[in-house]
Amino acid sequence: MDTGSDGKKGPLAGLTIIEMAGLGPAPLAALMLSEMGAEVIRIERMASGKAFLALPPEHDLDRHGRTILKLDLKRPEGIGLVLRLLEKADVLIEGFRPGVMERLGLGPEEAQRRNPKLIYARMTGFGQQGPLAGRAGHDLTYLAYSGVLHAIGPREGKPVPPLNLVADYGGGAMFLIAGILAALFEASRSGKGQVVDAAMVDGASMLAAPFFAFLAAGFWTDRRGSNLLDSGAPFYDTYETSDGRHLAVACLEPQFFAEFAALLPLEPHLAAAQYDRSAWGEMREAIARRIGEKTRDEWAALFEGADACVAPVLSLSEAPLHPHNRARRAHIHAGSLERPAPAPRFSRTPSVVAMPPKDVATVTDVLIRLGISAGEAEALAKAGIVGR
């Protein structure tokens, strides 16, 4: 893995992506594609309104690994420049509400008229069509409509937001990337681009496809906290330790549960009753009582090397320090920022860690490479179409 190299080496080297600036899943997708080797040109509006999250540049991953091009999209010259850039691009990523790009004059029809092979990737909450398509929302909104939020949380409590990992980044960014790569593969055969309609509510729903199957087969109940994987089972839950931290217990299979029961230890009649739901209440109380007798790290040491599927619940600041994560170099330093390393890993074409945006000279270089002369680039800057 290259940490901070200026060269593009990854499996997507040679791919050019135009990213319309936004928040959330689309920028994460663009970051990952950049670290896989794609050149990403992020187009930001010229207006200098206050950012929703005013992160310092060295911590702003929404901009790392890109060339930043500030354009006045209220003027036809700015729109015309975007269309000219799209003629040389492979992919466009946009995350606006349906109709915004069309009103700008940058919709799929116009873009693909200029470049028939263009992959036009659209990231929204509810998709391009449907009664809710034009509505605002966030991760929690889409999870609520997908049925996933209802399933997350304790049996006697309310649904719990799983950060914004499931709809924004799982159902959004990951499905957007999958759609882009699939469309690129198809375009390599057909010579034709297409529109990728990635909706967070669709992606979150697809992530939950196995649970819909479990529900249909009668292996899952539609009551939160009552099933094997939703904290309903005492052997798949978290428990508080004597120091107020937590231990994750996930010994679903009998052989793993047997090792857990032996090391805890658990009373013989409970150790023999893993899947007896009538014993789960007593089992949970026994596990909680026993785990409450030691600190988190004492339990981690006791279960180290065992196949009991027990782990200390690490904080975000603790995770980079764990020996396994250190051995894997799962976290890296990018300037002053310590962050997760690019994933997945490639044996021949390693990813390149994205760094903060380059200076304005690079913007001119990019414009020239994409067919804009140096003189015209300077004229656009003087006219206020391109930001300096």
List residues with catalytic annotation: 138, 168
Question: What is the token pair recorded at 225?
Answer: 């906290």
Give me the DSSP letters along 216-276. HHTS--SSTT-STTTT-STTEEEEE-TTS-EEEEE--SHHHHHHHHHHTT--HHHHT-TT-
Tell me which residue of 105, 171, 106, 102 sits closest to 137, measured CA to CA: 171
Which residues contact residue 328 at a Cβ distance below 8 angstroms, ignoring those fewer than 6 apart? none
User: Any idea what the Cα angle at residue 254 is, between residues 252 and 260, rounded to 5°?
Assistant: 75
Tell me which residue of 85, 90, 95 sits closest to 28, measured CA to CA: 95
Tell me which residue of 151, 157, 168, 152 sits closest to 212, measured CA to CA: 151
Q: Are strands 39-45 and 16-20 parallel, antiparallel or unpaired?
A: parallel
For 29, counting Cβ atoms within 10 Å of its Cβ (0-12 exposed, 13-18 middle, 19+ buried), the class is: buried
Q: How many CB atoms lie within 10 A of CB 1?
A: 17
Q: Are strands 66-71 and 310-312 parallel, antiparallel or unpaired?
A: unpaired
Tell me which residue of 203, 196, 152, 148 sits closest to 174, measured CA to CA: 203
